[in-house]
Structure 1
Amino acid sequence: MGWDEIALLFAGGVLAGCINVVAGGAGFMTFPLLVAAGMSEIEANASNFVALLPANVASLFGYRYELRRPNLRLRPRLALAAIGGTCGSLALLGLGEASFRSAIPWLLTFSTVAFALAPTIKRWLEHKHGFDGRSWIWLSFLLEFIVYVYGGYFGLGMGVVLLALYAMFGHDDLHEANAIRNATITLITLIGIALFAHAGVIRWLPSLIMMLGAFIGGYVMIKFVRSVPQNWVRWGILVWSVTLTGIAFWRYS
């Protein structure tokens, strides 16, 4: 591995760490770089879990105060994330990812539309039907579990879908929603790393180089996110989601 390749992986990790804190979907930044480093797609997917772990850990530290709020229902969500993530990762190892690749652009399209329209739909339901998402927590958990399975399998765009679900079901505070998202995704990532390492599909050196960059990017960005209005962050997430969807159609269609 040459110095230019090392620099590219590190820089990609820094940018991915920033993106992961703000919007999720950083895998579309790191996955192609890992493939370019000579990995197969399954190796790149597995190594991606390692590369992005520090960004999630840094986010957990940054959102430590939000994680103490009693209304997050964090324990049942972590249990669902553990079960769903395990199922998804085992499915990847057992089935491979080829059959899933064609669905990625459409899943990202759904996640982008869901995130963009979630506040409007929520207000309409509240006004017309007295909808209170906090009273439908069982439905939220069911939908989240499906996303957790997907996250263990491939996971690109998972964070965007989760943010849309949290907004729909009562977590209007974007920082609070990000705290839940990072906690559940971190757990899924740890489980995936354990399973993929046991299967021998992780390429450690490129992953660790990118991991260092992602840690730095995630730690710096968490401080910046708190200093800007939530509407700006939401628009930034939406722009990035649209970009991800376009890349997915170009790459996987």
Structure 2
Amino acid sequence: MSVLEFLFLVAAGVGAGLTGSIAGLASLVSYPALLATGLPPVTANVTNTVALVLNAVGSVSASRPELRGQGRRLRPLLAAAVLGGTTGAVLLLLTPSDAFERIVPWLIAGASAAILVQRPPRELAADGVAHAPPRDPRWLPLGTFAVTIYGGYFGAAAGVLLLAMYLLTTGEGLPRGNAMKNVVLGVANGVAALGFVVLADVAWSAALPLALGFFVGGRIGPRVVRRAPQAALRTVIAVAGLGLAVHLGIQAYT
């Protein structure tokens, strides 16, 4: 790998890490960057998942204020993420990707639209229209398991699906919901990455600079979420997700 390619992947990792820790769209940046260096699709996917572990390390370490008091809630979700990430990694190694490629754009579009139209919990409460639910729905670990299967399998916009689910069901605002998403997705990616390191072909010369960028971008992202106007940021996330859904849909159906 040339010095230029190394620097290109570091820069792509920073952009992807920032995008991923804010909106769950890291692979929108990092996966095409790996393809641009000449890696074949499956190797690029595996390498991307391994490098994403550093995005989770960066974003979770910067999200401690938002994670306070969420330990009890996160335990069943993390168990579901371990099972989902493992299942997704096995599916990637054993099955073709056609079915997932055709379903995922619709899931991403639905999740993004839900983020776009949902009013923030504080606004709803102020109007007396609705209040945050007193407890998370019992099916939330099952939903987390389903999404993290896709996260371990491919992962592009798995974070959008998780973020939408957590915002719509927990009554949390964007900073705390985003922190939940970063932890859960990080565990799912970590489990899948461990399997890929053992069983698949990882392009380490590409994974290392990408991971370095992921870490830096992941550290910056939660600070942006903490300070940015929440309504505007939700709109940006939703529109970016819809754009990705269209992009993946064109790839899947043409």
**C-alpha distance in 1, partners of 2:119/2:12?**
32
Number of aligned pairs?
Answer: 251
SS at match of 2:38: coil
Distance 2:6 2:142 in 1: 41
State the match for 2:69 in structure 1.
69
Q: How far apart, in 2, do the equivalents of 1:103 and 1:246 lie?
A: 12
Range with greater deviation from structure 2 (100-109 or 234-243): 100-109
In structure 2, distance between residues paired with 1:70 and 1:64: 10
1:155 maps to 2:155: yes
Counterparts in 2 of 1:163 and 1:134: CA distance versus 1, 3 Å: farther
1:81 deviates by 0.8
CA distance in 2, matches of 1:14, 1:149: 25
Q: CA deviation at 1:205?
A: 1.0
Identity %: 32
* SS of 1:138 mapped into structure 2: coil
User: How much does 1:71 deviate?
Assistant: 7.4
Q: What is the root-mean-square deviation in Å for CA atoms of aligned residues?
A: 2.6
Please name the residue that 2:108 is paired with: 108
Which of 111-120 and 22-31 deviates more?
111-120
Mean Cα deviation higher: 151-160 or 110-119: 110-119
CA 1:168 to 1:211, structure 2 compared with 1: closer, same or farther past 3 Å? Answer: same
Equivalent residue of 2:138, what SS? helix
Amino acid at match of 1:74: L
Instruction: Report if the CA contact (8 A) 2:132-2:172 is conserved.
Output: no
| Cα contact 2:49–2:193 (8 A) shared by 1 | yes
The answer to whether the 8 A contact 1:105-1:248 is kept is yes
Which piece of structure 1 moves more, 157-166 or 227-236?
Answer: 227-236
Deviation for aligned residue 1:91: 1.2
Tell me the equivalent position of 2:21.
21
Which residue does the alignment assign to 2:191? Answer: 191
TM-score, L = length of structure 1: 0.88
* In 2, Cα distance between equivalents of 1:201 and 1:137: 39
Instruction: Give the unaligned 5+ runs of structure 1.
Output: none
Distance 2:204 2:227 in 1: 35
Partner Cα separation in structure 2 for residue 91 and residue 68 of structure 1: 34
CA deviation after TM superposition for structure 1 residue 210, in Å: 1.0
Cα displacement (A) at 1:79: 0.7
Q: Which residue of 1 aligns with 2:43?
A: 43
Q: CA deviation at 1:103?
A: 2.7
> Match of 1:249?
249
AA matched with 1:83: L
Cα distance in 2 between the residues matched to 1:135 and 1:49: 32
CA distance in 1, matches of 2:216, 2:68: 25
In structure 2, distance between residues paired with 1:213 and 1:136: 34
1:91-141 Cα deviation digits (max 9, x unpaired): 1111142442233322222221232234489x6xxx89x886445611222
1:85 aligns with 2:85: yes
Q: Can you give the 5+ residue segments of structure 2 that lack an aligned partner in the other structure?
A: none
Q: Quote the offset at 1:166 in angstroms.
A: 1.0
CA change 1:85–1:219 in 2 (3 A) is same
Distance 1:134 1:188 in 2: 27
Q: Residues of 2 paired with 1:217 and 1:135: CA distance?
A: 32
**Aligned-pair distance for 1:33?**
1.5
Contact 2:45–2:154 under 8 Å retained in 1: yes
